[in-house]
Chains A and B, each alone.
Chain A
Amino acid sequence: MGLPDSSQDLSTEMEVDAFRRIFPLRFFERHLSESLRPDARPLGKARDTIVNPGLVSTADGSALAKIGSTTMLAAIRMEVMTPSTDSPDEGCIALEFHMPPICSPTVRPGRPADAAPVISKRLSDTILSSGMIDLKELCLVSGKAAWMGYLDIYCLNADGALFDAALLSAVAAFSNLEIPVVALNDNGRIVAISGGKDEDNASIIEKKAVNKEKRKLTLKNIPFSLTCILHKKYILADPTTEEESIMDTLVTVVLDSSDQMVSLYKSGGTVLAYSSAVKSCVELARKRAKELKQILGEMDID
């Protein structure tokens, strides 16, 4: 057989970088048999994660999340709108995930990346179904005015595990969000109060039950996600782009703070997921959820 023999012959003479490019699967399997990955991580460990809140001063809430090299910037802008008649007491959230050409050599301007609308939909499904945000908190005047949150997530560097990083940046942006102060003016319309001009404050009616100071949303059941690769007997947590391109079976588990499963997403892939593999992925996701909870907790204190 051509390929296996030739790789054995050349492997002693070839440079590591060349071997990595020409026989990527063999390169990775050599590492996996020692329970390691090329970047010296053990199989179940995720990359270093950093969350920086409040970077975008013009937005009402923002956060930058980095998992390894994958970088996501999330920003929320709040606007007042009239709620729909089916749910007069609820606001709404519009989520958009963008993959600009800066993030990856495969993304070109003018042609949106294949993954972008899919990740966008998965994120909005996850955030809405996890119940992290109570839409009733976004209501201002029942039936007349409610907050609409435009959450935009920009991928600045796509190096694998895009969904995990995007979800983390969205959650961090929501916990950083401060709802602007508004009041109801004479015409019955909501106006924003900026700073404190005395004549404006005097002319505004005794604040018809709208917020007096910038408030934060209460977040319950925060979702945390972990993407794993299944390859033969191995389960690799938090893959990089290189690993994702070679081994195509990805499982994303999203757990919330009360250990309920918000989503288990496996989309095709050569390896079938048996219950044992799914259980191991859920275990890894639990550990990761604890780590992320701690990271978000540290961020809030700052």
Chain B
Amino acid sequence: MEIDREDGRTPNQLRPLACSRNILHRPHGSASWSQGDTKVLAAVYGPKAGTKKNENAEKACFEVIWKPKTGQIGKVEKEYEMIMKRTIQSICVLTVNPNTTTSVIIQVVHDDGSLLPCAINAACAALVDAGIPMKHLAVAICCCLADNGYVVLDPNKLEEKKMSAFAYLVFPNTTLSVLPEGSSVADGEPVEHGIITSVTHGVMSVDDYFLCVENGCAAAASLSAFFRKNFQQSQRDSSKAG
């Protein structure tokens, strides 16, 4: 039984992606990321000297500031800030610039569903633009569970409200390796299947969750390919100009 989505997409189809980097001149790195109508702007300032009070001074520190489109900052924004901060800390190499603070500012331009994954993707693109050393990228995707047990990817706002449960999943990006063995394997599973961050809403069975993870993983692979293509494209453009 197929699911009919309003915009005619198949359950595993993502909305059109668009990413542009270096759009703002004051921040050291900036990016705008849009998935369909959801658009987020990310800016990175750093590394700046000194860490915050309770943070470890032997490592680099990150702070995330989330600005919603309208309204005051409340608990929702604080939660997003904490999730993003911990995700960014796990993908960046913290020992290269110890005792520094890097700020990531997220500005929501339009929210049409799947907002946190969009923001994480934008932050990654901005960090790359700023040249912050990272181990790998974080590729984020939203997976919903429809009532009949189907997994629907990248929902818009109406779909998110209708669904019984959804999960925001963040995976490391796929590696393109020159080694004949291909991508690295840990514990018998490829590194790309490991979950960096997972936030779920709504009740689902454990098996449904693993189904979401599987589908999310496959979508993360196509998002990784988009990232790679986008970065290589701008690399070629800038080398032609310079």
Contacts and interface: CB of A to CB of B under 8 A. Distances in A.
B181 interface: no
Interface residues of A, number: 35
A261 B88 contact: no
Contacts, number: 100
B203 A266 contact: no
A265 B75 CA distance: 17
Give me the 9 closest cross-chain CB pairs, A-B, nearest first: A272-B194, A268-B86, A268-B90, A117-B78, A121-B75, A117-B75, A268-B87, A273-B195, A267-B86
Contacts of B88: 268
Contacts of A115: 82
B213 interface: yes
Interface in A268-298: 268-270, 272-276, 278, 282
B200 A265 contact: yes
A120 interface: yes
Given A125-B201, A129-B201, A261-B203, A118 B79 contact: yes
B194 A121 contact: no
B90 A261 contact: no
B79 A261 contact: no
Contacts of B79: 117-118, 121-122
A21 to B, nearest CB: 15
B203 A274 contact: no
A260 B205 contact: yes
B78 A121 contact: yes
A130 B204 CA distance: 10
Contacts of B148: none
Contacts of B210: 275, 278
A11 B196 CA distance: 34
Interface of A: 106, 114-115, 117-118, 120-122, 125, 129-131, 221, 248-249, 256, 259-270, 272-276, 278, 282
Contact of B197 (A266, A270, A276, A282): A266
A268 B78 contact: no
Interface in B186-233: 186-187, 189, 191, 193-206, 209-210, 213
Contacts of B85: 268
Nearest to B87: A268
Given A117-B75, A263-B200, 5 more contacts: A114-B78, A259-B205, A264-B198, A266-B196, A282-B206
B241 interface: no
Interface of B: 54, 74-76, 78-79, 82-83, 85-90, 165, 167, 172, 186-187, 189, 191, 193-206, 209-210, 213
B202 A129 contact: yes
A114 B202 CA distance: 25
Given A121-B76, A122-B79, A130-B203, A106 B197 contact: no
Nearest to A121: B75
A268 B197 contact: yes
Contacts of B74: 117
Interface-central residue, B90, B167, B200, by most chain A CB under 10 Å? B200
B203 A118 contact: no
Contacts of B187: 274, 276
Nearest to A233: B187
Contacts of A118: 75, 78-79, 82
A281 B54 CA distance: 30
B106 to A, nearest CB: 16
A267 B197 contact: yes
A114 B36 CA distance: 33
A266 B195 contact: yes
Given A266-B197, A268-B87, A268-B89, A275 B82 contact: no
A256 B200 CA distance: 14
B205 A274 contact: no
Contact of B209 (A106, A129, A264): A264
Nearest to B91: A268
B215 to A, nearest CB: 13
B209 A261 contact: yes
Contacts of A249: 90
Given A117-B75, A274-B193, A265 B90 contact: no
Contacts of B89: 268
A37 B87 CA distance: 27
Contacts of B83: 267-268
15 contacts: A114-B82, A115-B82, A125-B201, A129-B165, A129-B203, A249-B90, A256-B203, A261-B203, A263-B201, A266-B196, A267-B199, A268-B196, A270-B90, A272-B186, A274-B187
Given A264-B198, A268-B86, A272-B196, A131 B203 contact: yes
